Structure 1
């Protein structure tokens, strides 16, 4: 590190060599994680191959203890209660730790348990955000983004405060960890971080007005007997008016519960809607394979083949029968990847009608009836609503 202030003349051109990492340096988190990993592995835990922050220890009796860490916040779970209490004691000897009891809040997310299942929501975070922006008394909106809303750039628009815009969108991105219903709207407004205009700020305010309507919505995880991984993929062809790139969307269900989702602008321009769907399909398959690996790290079985639902028959035909013609010859890598997975029998692709396609909420602005239907099928519920 460079010499501390006031010692420059004594050091001249020399620098200090650190004996250990100091708080605030770039390497400090890495050094802490290495130290923590070494300790956890010494206790007989194995590190996950698909998620390096996940550690598991299976006993001979078939019970399991699971540890997941985010910087210095740790969640312990599993059915091996003796191992969990022993680990807490050993960790207390090694580090200064505080046992907060049963999981209630984690990184701003509220975890609630009931007979129905486990719900995860960010109600307090949402209300704090609305209070901070002065939107608690605003007129609520039914949807987070207007129907078929296309945001672009034009020279005659009025610019807005860039720092305030970036701060707001950053908070909304964090909120979309438990709110797939705002994912698409947030992904659209986050494309104008460098030079936001009034129109973009209005779109951000529209998301806040929607949150005012539904502050307590969150994910619900119910216990089921199904052992399947299912993915739904969709795309909005040439959705961006700036560069005509398409938007991919997918969501995955593990054992019938929504676990991951994504709304992302594609990196290249697609020449046909089938090509755009094809790229979204390969994203969905990658996510399913990763989830299968996470489940195997957790010593859980899952049924194969993995199921993928798509509402474009042309895409499914190309996947099953990859004919070479002008429309598909440039979609090279995705095509071989999907074909390989289909041939090995690890995935199967099924057709689903557009009216039942729930990923529409992640690729385009919808009208309220269709939007409400998609959100309810995703399994989002508000546990704070009076029954």
Structure 2
């Protein structure tokens, strides 16, 4: 049985073909061309608005062309660039008494910004925050939105770099903010996962439940990250045929880790929805391993809050 691997990514009529054997890839392309009218565009350089730059050391992806179109649409192609997408500790609210702006144009541009976050985790929190106020945008929201565009102006070619090789291990980072939304006091869950040292997926989401403390917010965030970790682990098994591995998840709150591992703490968390205790089972069966990490090294931190300027640059790097 051959150990060669062929992976085909399909979106409508666009295909990406990759694998461990160049001859296998060529054979697949010949067979496809015999069955359908296709065009071989060679090495991957552009796909669904994402630009791919391949080199001997690895690959970089970005959306510089798409970013330029957003700036032109917003009539900010000649704006002054900014080093940061959002002012540190900025707290936007519904601003009921604020001056309204053009809601249709605002929503259209926000939608474009959400697409660019596919290659820009550094924009995740700021874009997610302004997206919460699309229903009735005010001048305060538009001001924050323009700050993001000025940041994009100075960082259009930025994107993740994927180096070759690695140990084939999957690990993730889980973080949460607590009570930072002035309207409903819900926190934000942030998670980032790395495979062989390369950032492969990231996510941030407003929590549906109000946490009574920071460690509860971290506990809920870690549970969401555990679900994502298991899905990624199973996806790797399906793609590679490797044996399922134990995923390491880094959390920067010791009280949250104690709540995950120690049943004695359960009495202090009975009010937390039962679904969030799913992570306990994952730890007990060995599919997830929780490890404490310093807040200074918490890579998901950039997804949960507007960081101080120096911390933002460090986390972005």
TM range (shorter): over 0.9
1:358 aligns with 2:299: yes
When the two structures are superposed, what TM-score results if normalisation uses the length of structure 1? 0.79
1:65 aligns with 2:16: no
Partners of 1:104 and 1:296 in 2: how far apart? 27
Q: How does 1:15-54 map to 2 (within 5 A)?
A: none
For residues 343-377 of structure 1, give each alpha carbon's deviation from its aligned partner in whole angstroms, at most 9, with x where no partner exists.
Answer: 1112111111112212111000012110010011x
The structure number with the bigger radius of gyration is 1
Q: How does 1:126-145 map to 2 (within 5 A)?
A: 126-145=67-86
Partners of 1:282 and 1:226 in 2: how far apart? 26
Partners of 1:268 and 1:372 in 2: how far apart? 31
Instruction: List runs of 5+ in structure 1 lacking aligned partners.
Output: 1-59, 377-387
Instruction: List runs of 5+ in structure 2 lacking aligned partners.
Output: none
| SS of the residue 1:327 aligns to | helix
Q: How does 1:140-159 map to 2 (within 5 A)?
A: 140-159=81-100
| Offset of residue 333 of structure 1 | 2.7
CA contact (8 A) 2:172 2:194 kept: yes
Partners of 1:126 and 1:143 in 2: how far apart? 16
CA contact (8 A) 2:251 2:257 kept: yes
CA contact (8 A) 2:234 2:244 kept: no
| Offset of residue 230 of structure 1 | 0.9
Moved more, 143-152 or 218-227: 218-227
Partners of 2:247 and 2:99 in 1: how far apart? 49
Q: Residue 100 of structure 1: which of 18, 41, 44 is its match?
A: 41
| Offset of residue 299 of structure 1 | 1.6
**Where does residue 38 of structure 1 map in the other structure?**
none
| Offset of residue 241 of structure 1 | 0.7
Q: Residue 264 of structure 1: which of 201, 205, 211 is its match?
A: 205
Partners of 2:184 and 2:268 in 1: how far apart? 20
| Offset of residue 326 of structure 1 | 5.2
CA contact (8 A) 1:145 1:185 kept: yes
When the two structures are superposed, what TM-score results if normalisation uses the length of structure 2? 0.95
1:88 aligns with 2:32: no
